[in-house]
Structure 1
């Protein structure tokens, strides 16, 4: 595990294998054939469907649900995947409760939306299980594109470029492709190595060569890529983690939540993962919830998530907040850490309550902790990158950066909302613009 020495009280094997397996089972089990037909029958098939507008990848949701309802789920899958090639993963991890399902007319009328996410999974899982890849490459163009980062944005960009007939080399710093889908989401959201299987399926398009263990800045430079390839797409994500700038933050047992989640996702034996008895998670986003819930599922007795603002300001959706609470996670809001206490290893974290403007109130409290996970945001890492907009790469609406021939998308690019589905949309749209830039007047015909 990514860590220094473990704090006293941190241990593996808190739960037996049966309890571990139950806790880390599929959060939203797949629909059966009959369940899917019943769920699809609830759709009004709106002509001007608000769910489409709410989807960052503009999937024609009423069309794919109608295709399921009429017994053609493979056609439904192609409708989904033509807009979102990672539709299977997005069906699992998208906050549908704040996107398409929140916009559903059934939600407004009855408080119970059509189960769009589970229907999307039903269609895409079925097609993937068949082994069929529904897309083929156009005539080869002779153009080559470097895509740096094999996360959602990079994968979507590479696949669309390959469809257009370009040859793509897909670089990633980690041993496995997939980015956050492989390393950064809760294990109960993506079971049975789905992220890896989806990448393997995506690569069936052909024309994409994968180079793992290759990092921008360490093994390759942007200057070298520009010289060797006709275009470059950067989907490098956010590799750094914000520092916890309080006294004692360097004590043993104070860890990055993203590393904890990554270790858990890659573990072959969950029972071998050490977890504290008293765990504190600092942050209020999806990463914080994923870390807090999984600490509980590993057997932590007390897990507390502390966020500096109110619940209505948390980046984690209400569904995620309720999920955490249902698993026994205590959520404290309007409180900021001011010190980590302990003799070498963490024993307590001290907080101070804040008002709505984040001003300290003077009221302080301590929480016992033998393990602390920081989930306070990630930052862009790298030198000689294109011009930044704040702390991310500045991009146009088409994904163009300040450097000629270089595009960017996903979490590393400014203007996004750090969602898998948004990253897919940005990678796809950048590929369209790269294709136009490379092919000129002929691109409109093939695009």
Structure 2
């Protein structure tokens, strides 16, 4: 992933400094850079220069992830950065370069040789490596199609990760979900050819604070009997993005050896159409004891998360974090790049917001608005799984989940997208890890020492 020594150097040049940099070149090289403007990702090669072999444009100089361009656009070989702009964190720069080299090549060879980075001296190279590995794990899981990443495939991925880090995995599958009281997970997944399951991974010293990561693992979402239109179903292999993100985050945590007792819970299902499918109007029992009337079978993620959140709260956690590709309303509000999160804990919210800025992993706190909580009340049940209004869909989904989250510990919900609709530097089109780097940074500050 990284080089130990470099044979070539790249200089980072902002748009503001581009003209002066060109004028400072020897006459023999000035023509090579004549069209260089310093726009993000622009490359100019300077053959014959013993010190700087290339320039990379960084635009305004505010986006560290512009370095993601370098891995695939510079000539193959081992490179060092000749200059880091003020305020650019060396470890984040190293991470951004590595993530820019990602390609999902399971079915089609990448056919490209990457430019490798010799990290800056001040970089924590091992931390950059574990973060990049975690992000790439999440990307790979999301990008893998549902015929190869159903509930069984997700379980296999969790077991592989556990084996790498000496963690343990337990799984409750099929009708055992009913006997062990996970009725909503069972109901959502029972119509699929692969049985639904609750996957649990545990790692760490039992004496350390227990941190629960709950990830929505809907491996494909047809919408159920309230079936989605084809255009909205096309990317539903990514509906297990919450599970993919918590597994990638778990890799970062375990690799860093944080002082926590990690508890990962992944309800893994396919929301399929079949004779056993749950129906609009059905009333489901839940592990917590609340009854839930089904308004729409396409609001299934909150159901499986409800049982998993209840289970997480039964083990005296110090913190519960859930991640889910839960609502289109979140994308209407904040688009595909900024991830909303919900919590009643102000200190936690502040730590997460600061971590999002530090790691260039953008987050935005959204309100758990009490006035909308009554919208989730049922008439013949304790709850409905969908409010009878098109307004505030991401907020009402979060309020639904809060009914199942433990009241004895801080809880935070991330309504992620899990996908890059367009290529961006360091963030290629396809499956994406979102909010995980910020969460890891927050946990590292709290539990590393």
TM-score w.r.t. length of structure 2: 0.30
TM-score w.r.t. length of structure 1: 0.30
